[in-house]
A and B are shown apart, each in its own frame.
Chain A
Amino acid sequence: MNDERKFVLLVEDDPNDARLIQRCFDRTALPVQVMRLQDGDEAVAYLDGVAPYDNRVSHPLPCVVLLDLKLPRRSGLEVLQWIRSRTYELRRLPVVMLTSSHHAVDINRAYDLGANSYLVKPETIEQLTELVGLVKRYWLTINRDPRVTVS
C-alpha cells in the first residue's frame, strides 16, 4: 500500500460527468490518482477487496470516496450505508456525496447515514473545476485521514 500517494475513488455512472471530473483533477497542481467505478455494486466490491479488486497494491483504499446518489444496481445511499455499517475500520472512510440532486430529502438522508459532505454538481465546468480544486485541497491536503486498513 502506498500511503504517500493520495488516491480518490469516484463512483459515477455518467461517463461525461466522470470524464469532466477526471479532467478537473488532472488539471490541478500535483495531479491525483482517480479510480472511477460505474455502479454501487462495483464500489462495494472494490472497498470490500473482492476480485477483481482483491489486490490492495494495485487497488488501494482511497483517502476519500466521491459518491453519486443515483447509481445503477445499488444507490449511493446504499453504498454509504454499507460503508458505515462495517464492523472494521472501513466504516470511518470519508465519503463526499457529489450529485445533481439538491433536494432537501436527499441531503438530509445522506447526512443521516453518515456522509461527511454533500456537494451538488455545478452548472458549468468552470464552477466544477473550482469545486474539484476545493475538494482536493480540503480532503487530500487539509483534512487528517483516519486510519483505514483492510479488514
Chain B
Amino acid sequence: MAVIKPMDRTDRRGAGRQILHSEAAFRSLIESVHDYAILMLDPQGIIVTWNPGAEHIKGYSADEIIGQHFSVFYPAEDRQAGKPEFELAVASRTGRFEDENWRLRKDGSRFWANVTITRLNDEAGNLIGFGKITRDLTERRRAEQRYRQLIESVSDYAIFSLDPSGIVTSWNLGAERIKGYSAEEIIGQHFSRFYPPEYLAAGLPAYVLAQAEQNGHWEGEGWRLRKDGSRFWSSAVVTAIRDEDGDLVGFSKVTRDITDRKLLLDQIKEHAAKLELRVKEREQTNADLEAFSYSVSHDLRAPLRAIQGFASALKEDYADTLDATATSYLTTISDSALRMNRLVQDLLNYSRLNRIDIESQPVSVAEALEQARLELADSPGEIAVHVAPGLQVAAHESTLVQVLFNLLSNALKFHLPEVIPKVAVTAAPLDDGSVRISITDNGIGIAPQHQERIFNVFERLHGQETYPGTGIGLAIVKRGMQRMHGKVGLQSADGDGSTFWVELPAVNA
C-alpha cells in the first residue's frame, strides 16, 4: 500500500523560494499587468525596465524609453521646479513617495497620475534603484471634477464638508448664498460659528458631530446665523465620511434655508391654535347658555305656573264670595302668567335653535305634519293635508315639526272672527331637487310691505287683544329653516289669505 507523505516545510519553502527566485516568473507577472505602469529606475532616475502597462498608459515602447531619464514624464513647470529629483530624494530617504499629479504622455497630452516610487535596496541595504508604479486616474478625476462642479453650482442647498474636528474644508455656491460667506472666508473656520449663542451654550455643534459619527448621520432643523448675524431656519443633514478602513475623515453637511416654510408653518400652527381656542370658548359658551336656558325654563316658569294656578284656584274656590271685577282681575292675572310662560318658552326655543346641533336626516313630511297637527287638536278650524305618504325631506325632525306647528298655528289664528279657518297643506317635489311644503289659509292676509319684517323677533302686526302671540313664531320658522339649509317664503295679499311655504332637500325613498 502506497503511503502519501505530507510535504514537509523544507519542501514548501523550497518551492516558494524557487518562485521568488524565478526572475522569469516575476517578470511575466509584471509584463501581464496592463492597467499599471510598472518600471524600474536606476539610482539616478534612468529608466531600466518598462512593462506593457507603462506603454499603454504613457505611449512609449520599451525600446524608445529605456535609458531615458524619468523626468520626461513631468510637465515642464514641474521639471523646472525640480520635482523629479525631489521625489527620488524623498523615496531614497523615507523608502517611499506617493503623489497624485499631472504627467505627460509621449504625445505631450496630460493625464492624472497616481505615482508611487519605492526605494530598492541590495541585500546590504545599499540603494540600487527605484520601483515606480503609475496609475492613470484621469477618468476618476474627471468624474470627481464633474461631481465637484455639480455640487459647487447647486445654489439652493448649502453643501460643504468638515474635517473630523468641524473645520470647514469645502464650500459651494449654495452655502455662499444661504450663509453669506465666500469660500475663501469660511474654509478653515470652525462650523460652530453658524450656530446662535443659545445653541452654542447647549453644546449643539459638538452634539451634532458626535451623533453623525455614532449613527452615520444626523438630521435636524433649527435657527442658524448668516454672516451678517441674521437668522434663518435651517433643515440640515450631516453625514459622517469614512475611508476604506472605516476611519472618520470628516463630515458632509447639506443645509437648506426653509425659513419661509417654517414661518408659514408657525403661522398655520398659530391660527390652528387660535381656532381651537375659539372653538373651545364657543363650546363653553354654548354649554353655559344651554345650562342657563335649562335653568330658566325650569326655574323661571315655575313661579308663572304658580301665579296662573293660584289665580285660577282662587277664582274657582271662592267663586261665591268674589264679584265680577275681582273675577276678571284674577282672569287677567292668570292669562298674563300664561302669556309670559309662552313667551319664555318661545324665546328659549328660538335661542336654542341657534345653538343646538342640527343634523338633517330623512323625515316623512306627512308624519311631521301629523305631529304638528296633534298639538293643535284643540284649535278651532279645519286642516286638510294633501301630502303623499312616502314623501321625505332631509330635515331635523323636531325642528321641522316646530316650524310646521308654528305655520299651522298662525294659519288657524289670523282670520276674521266670523270666518271659520280653513287650512290646506300640500307638498310637491320641485325641479331643483327640493320639496316645497305649502300651507294656505283663508285668513286676513299680509300686506306686501309687511311681508319681510314679520320674520323678525318680536315683530307683531296686531294687538294682543285682536290676535294674542309672542312675536317669535315666524322668527323660529326662519331660523329653523336656515339651520336646516332650507328656504321659507310667502304669497299673500291684504285680506286675501296667505300661503306660507318652506323648501327642504328631497330624499329619495
Contacts and interface: CB of A to CB of B under 8 A. Distances in A.
A125 interface: yes
Contact of B313 (A20, A101, A123): A20
A17 B294 contact: no
A16 B305 contact: yes
A59 interface: no
Q: Chain A interface residue count: which class?
A: 10 to 19
B242 to A, nearest CB: 69
A126 interface: yes
B310 A16 contact: yes
Contacts of A23: 313
Given A16-B305, A20-B306, A100-B301, A124 B312 contact: yes
B398 A101 contact: no
A101 B338 CA distance: 17
If over half of B's interface residues share one DSSP class (helix, strand or loop), that class is named, otherwise mixed; here it is: helix
A14 interface: yes
B372 to A, nearest CB: 15
B310 to A, nearest CB: 7
Interface in B386-400: 398
B302 A100 contact: yes
Contact of B338 (A14, A20, A124): A124
B297 interface: yes
Contact of B294 (A103, A121, A124, A125): A103
Contacts, number: 47
Given A104-B398, A123-B341, A125-B312, A17 B298 contact: no
A126 B305 CA distance: 11
B308 A125 contact: yes
Interface string B299-319: 001110110111011000000
B313 A121 contact: no
Given A123-B338, A124-B338, A20 B305 contact: yes
Contact of B312 (A100, A104, A126): A126
B355 interface: no
B342 interface: yes
A17 B302 contact: yes
A20 B334 CA distance: 14
B297 A17 contact: no
B305 A123 contact: yes
Contacts of A74: none
A29 B400 CA distance: 41
Contacts of B308: 123-125
Interface in B252-307: 294, 297-298, 301-303, 305-306
Contact of B302 (A14, A124, A128): A14
Given A16-B306, A125-B305, 7 more contacts: A20-B310, A20-B313, A103-B294, A104-B398, A124-B334, A124-B338, A128-B305
30 contacts: A14-B302, A14-B306, A16-B302, A16-B306, A16-B310, A17-B302, A17-B305, A20-B306, A20-B310, A20-B313, A70-B298, A100-B297, A100-B298, A100-B301, A100-B305, A101-B294, A101-B297, A103-B294, A104-B398, A123-B305, A123-B308, A123-B338, A123-B341, A123-B342, A124-B308, A124-B309, A125-B305, A125-B308, A125-B313, A128-B309
Closest 4 A/B residue pairs (Cβ)? A16-B306, A125-B309, A20-B309, A125-B312
